[in-house]
Structure 1
Amino acid sequence: MAGLDQLDNPDVELDVLYDLNGLAERLPGWAESVLVFVGQRGIPAALVLLTAVAWVLLRRRPDAPQAVAGVFWAGLAAGIACLVNAPIRGFVARPRPVDTHPDLHVLVAGEGYSFVSDHAAAAAAVAVALFLVHRGLGAAVFGLAVLQGFIRVMLGVHYPTDVIGGFALGAAAALLLAPLAMATLTPLVALCARTRGLGWVARRPDASACPAPHAERGLAA
């Protein structure tokens, strides 16, 4: 029995953490700098850009008020996911990987506790919200979210389960609150679309039903 007790009991999560972090450790200095930039600022900036692209693509659709409301919800869902995460992180109080594993090659000094990842939660929330109104862009954002999750672990700033928990939190917040958010945002966007100053936000809800002025003159002639 003593021999059985002494057998190694591998921790899969730590194996993944060390494997991914080891990949970062073998990178040259310039590649490490690129990895840090992409994981810290590059992918979040890309998420903002894709959300703006979604608005440009959807603001002229026949269902523009609802579609644009979904785009606005993507940004709000990311913020809500981070707000919900704040008390969770304090309650779980999981130390950063480097605090318990000082032999890691840490490229970013994370602040606060580790579980769950704000970056992963925000990215997942944006992905789910955009997928509800544009599957292509939603899938693209989901791909970026997965990439960001890998990079956060490579940087040594999060455990894999921190990222998985962030994905779950962000997706749940965006999906579960979507009905209420859309019911609130869609009328607001439709109202903005009918005003002179904010008509650029989205196509007017009744625009497709109203014939163009030159068409009316042609019929009258």
Structure 2
Amino acid sequence: MTVRINDIVPDFKAETTDGPIDFYDWAGNGWIVLFSHPKDFTPVCTTELGRLAQLFPEFTARNCKIIGLSVDTVADHLRWKPDIEKVAGVPLPYPLIADQDLRLAKSLGMLPADAGATSKERTETNNATVRSVFVIGPDKRIRMMQTYPMNTGRNFDETLRVLDALQLSEKHDVATPVDWRRGDDVIIPHSLTEDEAKRRYPNGWRAVTPYLRYIADPTES
């Protein structure tokens, strides 16, 4: 199975370090960052989980929950947890899904159907493609997805930036330019005709080309 932007993430049940969950019930009506790891007790992943623990208050302030997934058992996750907290310098405040039967990794398109039915004796190299980040909207649709190579640490400040952009676009029907951050000018969507734009933005805009039209970040006005 291949998942794409705007696909709905099916509901699922899973064992986690916080106990069993039903994903939709756990997610509620907020945003979700679901990120996956090829193996517990791996160096790059340890730094990544730690960084998300540090950024947890920022995501919470944006009505966004965090949940990790690794193709190992809950017992393994709990043994790994002190290492993550040592690296991060803060407690690990979000749950980790145990996916030892590889079911979720397959359903999210991170492993092929013939990958087997157990994580036992699999190494991070076998699971190298289980290195994804999904931002999931309140409607349970995938709004953003990234997959990183095994030896490259992910940038979760970028995930936070994307979340800001997604939430702004959803609330105000605008687009964001390259490297946009909160407070920067935003773009009037190309789908909005000139007449529609004039009605919506009577004070005008800054046009670089006929189709590239900037206005101030509406949250700053």
Identify whether the pair has TM-score above 0.5, normalized to the shorter chain: no
More helix by share: 1
TM-score by length of 2: 0.25
Structure whose CA Rg is larger: 1
TM-score by length of 1: 0.25
More strand by share: 2
